[in-house]
Every structure is written in C-alpha cells, then in structure tokens.
A and B are shown apart, each in its own frame.
Chain A
C-alpha cells in the first residue's frame, strides 16, 4: 500500500513511523513509501486564487497515480488533511483542476483518481476490528487513557474520517487492543499549535485545558493521532507546570505504538524513548512490557 510519510515523521516523529510500519507488517499490510515525495503543502490554502499553493499536494498525488496505485495512506493528520482536500478540490472544481494541471505540464494530468486515507481508516475499514482483535498478542489491560484527535482528521466535514463532533474510531481501536478508554470531552478541541508564534500564552492555556481535563478524568496517558499535537502537548508541559504549578505531567503516546505493542512488536521498535513522558515506566508498572532489553531511557 502506498504510504506518504511527510516531513515530521522523518524528524520529530520517528517513533510514530517506526511503530506504524512494524505494526502494519505484523497485520499483513506492507507500507511502501512513495518515491520522490515532497512537502505536502503543510496548510491547505483557503484563498480562492492561491492555486500555486495546491501544487505541492497535487504533485504527491501524481506520484501515487504514476505508481498505478489508487490509494495512498498517511500517518500525519496534517498531511492527510492537505492531501485529502487538494484531492477534493481537483475532483470538484474542473476549472481549478485544469489550471493546476496546465501549470504542471511536465507531469501527467491529475484527474482526481487517488483515494487519500488515514491509517486509522485502513485499520477500521480495510482490516476491521475483528481481524485486528485476532492479532492482539498482548492485550493492554489496565492501561487507562484518553483519546485525542486534534483538529485535522475530522475537519472540515467533507474531509473527515469520522463524525466531526464525536469521532469514535480511536476509542474503538484502543478498546480492541484492550486499553481502558475514558470519556474525554475535549478530544477534538484545538491544541492551539497554530498560534504558537503569535499567541504563545494562549497555546499554554489550551494545552493546560486539555491535559488538565485528561488528568481529572483519571487518564494515565493521552493517545494521539497527530504528531503536531503530540509535539505541542509535550512541549507545553514544562511551561504549564511553571505557569500554573502543581501539574504532574502526563505521557503522550501515538496510537500506532500501542497497536504495535499489542500485536507483539518488541518495545524497542516502538521507540518509546522518543515520547514525551515516562511511557516505558508506565507500561512497565502495568506489566505490559514483555521481558526484553531496555533500550534508551525515557526523557
């Protein structure tokens, strides 16, 4: 299956990518990295006349077409959102499609024939929860978490992988893995990362609202699907402790890491050492780490 990594997974979110590839392989899905991929475009441009901005994502979609694959899977929520919406634009707006194709005349024309999906969709729709349940070797029982989606997987509605207001795909997956999922009303609240430059204070406030609620709900970790949220929610924790005091902190885990662990991948490959928070210690306390050599130490 064609796989588009994007920049973050090659830099700050290596743990996300490594665990995903290993887990999917165990589930019988081979993620093949797209050749010659480029930047996804980062933020989907809402301007009417800013067509040049869409060239980056469309060129990636052209790469997928060239492979003869009708589908590309992403891990990063931002890449998913940008690619998905660029594809929708190309499908639904013939004039803009022609203009963009004309601009990239060295490439083959893109006709809107690639399906952009997020890994969670592959797990839910292609494999199915029952299939995954059969592959679970280490049920992650006793671990109490809250799910956190961030914004870009479910907004706007036409690009949403699940209900805009009340997505459940992450909870469903985690339950299949044996995790105790707690009710979390702020699962789709903005983490504030967009404002990190202009209004850093409000970012700290947003992160505190989300993480504080997670702690009050009794969560031992927060499970995310977006590397930017993971980064932001991690980075803000020292600032939160400084600003508000009395903040114990909470580890942040990618859903793919728990998936990998549950289907029997060695913790080493999950790269918990790159996570924010004492993830390994937590998992060990819960008796969820199989006997193996520890690699590295938590931050």
Chain B
C-alpha cells in the first residue's frame, strides 16, 4: 500500500480533497492543467446564497494548498498514463514546459506587465486580454508565470526560422528575458514526464460551460454573454472593476434578460440533463445587477425554478421581491434590432408570446464535463456517461467511488452541482482515501464495506 494520493484538478473540490487528505497526514500530489489552482470558483463575483466573495473564502484555501508540507503542487501539468491497482498505481504526469524557471522566479510581475503579445484571457472568459507570459489572475497559486508558447512572439519567431517558412519574419521579441531581474526565462525548458507512485486517485476535473455557438437561435452578438462572463463583469476584481457595462459599447445596460436552461434540459439542441446551478446563479446575478444598476430592469426566463439548497428558496424570493421579473417560458430567439437585442419567448403562465427589448442578455449555459474528460476516463480505466461525466459505482449509495477501486470522484466531474456539494464531495472522497490508507494491506476488493 502506497500511502500517497493523487488529486486531479485544482478547483474547489480538488483543493478540498487535497487539503483533507494532507491534513489526515498523508502525502498528496495535486495536478492542475492550467497555470494556477482555483478553478471556476475563482472566477465568480459573489457566491449564493450568502453573497460571499469567493476571493475571500477560496484564496485562503488556495494559499493553504501552496504552503501545505504534505502537498506537492504540479500546475500546468496533465495526467498521461496510469497503471497498477488500488494501493499501488503508477502514474505518469506531463509537466508542460513553462519556459520560466520557477526556482529563480520571484513573481515580481515585470515580464507580464511588459509582454506585447495579447491573448484573450481564459480567467476573464474572453472579455479581457492577458499577455503571452502570464499568471491567470493576481491571486494565482503559484503566483509565478508561464509562457503560452502558442502566442509568444519569440517562440513564433523561432518556429518561423526553424521551419524555413516564406514571408515576413515575426518580430524577435524576448522582452521578458531582457527585463527579468533574476534570469528566470528559460527557452530551453521542455515538457517533462514526472513518474509517481500513489495508492489512491481523486478525480475532480470540474466542468466547462457549453459554448454559446451551440445555440444558433441565440444571436452571435457581443452583448449576448454567458454566466461566467457576467460573473467576471460583476466581479470587483474583473476587467470592468465590477461596473456592469455591455461589451459592445460600454454603456450601462438598463434592461438585462437572463435565460435559464440555455442548452440544459434540451436534448434536441443541447443536453438532456439539468445543470443544477443556473437557477440560483441567475437569481444571484439578477440581484447583483439590480444592486449595481438600481433603476435597471432584470427579466429571468425559466422553466422551473430549482432552488433546493439550504436558504436557496428564500434567496430566490428575495430576488423577486427586489424587482426582478420572472417569466416562465423558453426563449425561442434572440437577435439584434438596432441598438437593442430582442428576446422572443413565451410566458407559459399567461399563455402569451412575449418580446423583451434588452441591452444585454445573459445565458445560463449548460454545464458540460470538462474538455478531455472522456480521454482522461480512458486513461484511468473508469467509465463516464454520454455527456462525459464520470460514472459513480452506485448512484445512490456509492456516489463518490468510480467504477474502479482506488479511484474516487469529487465535484462537478461527476455531475453538475454547486459549491457546497462540491466541497462536501471533496471531503467525502478524501474520507474514502483516508479509509483506504488505514487498511494495512491493499486489496483490489472493496473494504469491509465502503
């Protein structure tokens, strides 16, 4: 039995699982695909129903991960291969080349302030830009940059020279290298394979939002945005510093329409499942919008309001009481009509067609399993459902165990869920790992009872 765990995914579920296992006295390797842990939760403005700022409640946990003596953090890394069995897995992890020597780098920030190559920011969901050498957001852990080799000018230049291509030479930039006070830029750094042995694996790879393009009835328009983009806009640390302004012309939107079930519960256009969190986050966003623009009007189209968590029903009621109009019905079409967006839908309670003129539309896009989930499942030898969410050993009584002993599930990788449920699952999966490690011998059978 190797009493060391691998946690895949550094969102809130993975962070919680890693911290709990580490606090339980065992070594943990936390692998995160992007340059920083934090996951989607770090993108949100405020979280329902308490309206806590996630920076305040998540960043301490991120800091704990970075500082915990039992946690080895591998960001910008992906799981490549797994062999072995519960108690003794051999894993190969691809550490992507950062082109920055993190043992030298101090995170001073000079490089990313001066880098001339601009790329849409993943953290800001595309509504702002980052540089090619970057940390995803100021509170990133680790707060040391990586070079995005797909967009770095110098790397493009080198490829151009080596490829012997025709045409105009790209500029040979190297500004970061010249400015770095400690000489941390390392153009020679290559991808590396890290091999580790672990006894248990927790899969917490999270979710992605369905791209808006998958719903062509809803206009391809800068003012039609998804929920995460609006979170970034509402966030005091976001690109608009919390000022609500529509992307097209930076005007403050006076009328905003929120559309629930954009892709969810819609087997023909999207996915059959319910994404569980949209009802609540749209209610929250409508409330925050009304706080930011008190004379603004918010409309929410919904099919069923699904506010089943502790304090959620009361929260929804508050959103309605504060003046947001709820319309029960689907939106058939969104299109631009001059300065306004037209939202055509139906109010099934009055049986009438409604048309709302809006300055901005926020789509509660369906939650999908995160990109690459099915490939990861194949590498791990565990099952997923059609949508790529990992399958639990028994949906009722073993919700945190995968279909393979020694591999556990946490958070939205298993299915859409909100933050408390993800945190509880992170802890629950950690409990499974601690239980496994408490056994003296590894067995590929289940424990006395799981």
Contact = CB atoms under 8 A, between A and B. Distances in A.
A166 B216 contact: yes
Contacts of B337: 185, 213, 216
Given A213-B337, A216-B337, A185 B216 contact: no
Contacts of B342: 185
B338 A165 contact: no
B335 A185 contact: yes
B217 interface: yes
Contact of B338 (A183, A185, A186, A216): A216
Interface string A150-183: 0000000000000101100000000000000001
A185 B342 CA distance: 10
SS class of chain A's interface: helix, strand, loop or mixed?
loop
Interface string A70-97: 0000000000000000000000000000
Contact of B217 (A166, A213, A216): A166
Contacts of A213: 337
- Interface residue tally of chain A, by bracket? under 10
Interface string B326-338: 0000001101111
SS class of chain B's interface: helix, strand, loop or mixed?
strand
A53 B332 CA distance: 32
Contact of B333 (A163, A183, A185, A216): A185
Contacts of B333: 165, 185
A262 to B, nearest CB: 28
Nearest to A209: B355
B219 A165 contact: no
B216 A165 contact: yes
Contacts of A165: 216-217, 332-333
A163 B333 CA distance: 14
Contacts of B217: 165-166
Nearest to B338: A216
A214 to B, nearest CB: 11
Nearest to A190: B353
Interface in B133-190: none
Nearest to B335: A185
A165 B333 CA distance: 9
Interface string A212-247: 010010000000000000000000000000000000
Interface in B405-435: none
A289 B337 CA distance: 32
Contacts of B332: 165
A94 B301 CA distance: 42
B115 to A, nearest CB: 37
A166 B338 CA distance: 21
Contacts of A186: 335
Q: Which of A185, A213, A216 has the most CB of B within 10 A?
A: A185
A185 B341 CA distance: 11
Top 9 closest pairs, chain A to chain B, by CB? A185-B335, A166-B216, A165-B217, A185-B333, A216-B338, A166-B217, A213-B337, A216-B337, A165-B216
18 contacts: A163-B216, A165-B216, A165-B217, A165-B332, A165-B333, A166-B216, A166-B217, A183-B335, A185-B219, A185-B333, A185-B335, A185-B336, A185-B337, A185-B342, A186-B335, A213-B337, A216-B337, A216-B338
Interface of A: 163, 165-166, 183, 185-186, 213, 216
Given A166-B217, A185-B342, 16 more contacts: A163-B216, A165-B216, A165-B217, A165-B332, A165-B333, A166-B216, A183-B335, A185-B219, A185-B333, A185-B335, A185-B336, A185-B337, A186-B335, A213-B337, A216-B337, A216-B338
